[in-house]
Structure 1
């Protein structure tokens, strides 16, 4: 009995939490959240469920760990040299997260859940810290740190999630250029009295590049932040009565 117990302990120690999370990410990438089951996980790891439960209590904890692992890697790879501007740092973080969401289609949903249900968790804190340090370096006064960082965070995750959905959206199976051409043509056919603006930008929509548009949005947000909080300016005083 003692020998079997020691062998079981050795197998449990050999199967690290990191390896379990890595296998979970592989399953999520291949089949989405529905494909991540403890049965599939134990088969992939060639182990028993007890060894997995030793490290991870349930599926929610496993999803959170997989999300944290992917986000940590994305943010680490997004590091820029200290001499680069805070704006370049924000763009690097944005592109890192966008790339991770594109590579792992399940990530956008999990990030939204983490922000809504577990804002005190490490996933939210890691992203907020990465963006917040750059916001502080822009010269934004402390009173504006939370709002400015939140605006960047929500834009980045929202736009990146939408772009990822566009890339994987079901449809006719046409290539992207054909798809955008069809949408552009449909917009041009809209009633000119009800949709004058949409008709006017139909050609721009057809020709746009998601990455360029994404970065343009980042620049809009950064311009707004630095316009409202120019470096060296005193903190803005709220209007009376607010």
Structure 2
């Protein structure tokens, strides 16, 4: 008696762009950008690549949609958290910046995508929110673009570098082991050529990435507010 071939189980939910994007994010998080193919995505979704192409035209569009989904969720969360009357613009910027930092840390591929597509919506979401807070700070209009850009470049640069360090250096060792090894190497550098680096080696060993990120952000915010703070009129 011939045996019947078992058909694959049917999907419980109809295929949609949202399901495709969610599956792409999961694949990117676990395997990285290089593993994101329509064939691999089709296997996750129990469908054919042709069905995915009905909703997404190609990998670039899919990467942009996945990045936008993560950033949109993050900006919505940080906006609701910071959107109280008692929140200062500086606090709102810190909340937004830390949200982006944590998003890149959780999804390392996002940093590359944000830097790759400066004119597309994921990056513009962050830039728009930063710009609104810069306006609330009272920064004059001619200086608003520069101030928002400086903040954005710092957030993406440090967030992206932190994610790259986690991927490149911590795969076979813990963060503590990596920092201890690097700090020891710094401490043993030539004292005449690297006096400063030797002197801060212990600070490298004990530093916290998020704390250092926020400290650097505060330095930029202090510079912006100091340079562009309103000048009280002279008494008459």
Q: TM-score, normalised to structure 2's length?
A: 0.87
| 2:105 paired with 1:102 | yes
Q: Which residue of 2 aligns with 1:93?
A: 96
Cα distance in 1 for residues equivalent to 2:220 and 2:64: 29
TM-superposed CA distance for 1:131, in Å, is 0.6
1:27 deviates by 0.9
Q: Which residue of 2 aligns with 1:65?
A: 65
5+ residue gaps in structure 1? 1-10, 235-242
Which residue matches 1:39?
39
Cα 1:18/1:172, change in 2 over 3 Å: closer
1:139 — aligned with what?
Answer: 138
Q: How far apart are 1:107 and its partner, in Å?
A: 1.1
Partner residue in 1 for 2:84: 82
Give the Å deviation of 1:15. Answer: 1.7
Runs of at least 5 residues in structure 2 that lack an aligned partner in the other structure: 1-10
Which residue in 2 is equivalent to 1:223? Answer: 222
**Secondary structure at 1:194's aligned position in 2?**
coil
* Deviation for aligned residue 1:155: 0.2
Aligned CA RMSD, in angstroms, stands at 1.9
Question: What is the total number of aligned residue pairs between the two structures?
Answer: 219
Equivalence for 1:239:
none
Cα displacement (A) at 1:171: 5.6
Deviation at 1:196, TM superposition (A): 0.8
- Please identify, of 143-152 and 160-169, the stretch whose mean Cα deviation from structure 2 is larger: 160-169
Report the TM-score when normalising by structure 1. 0.85
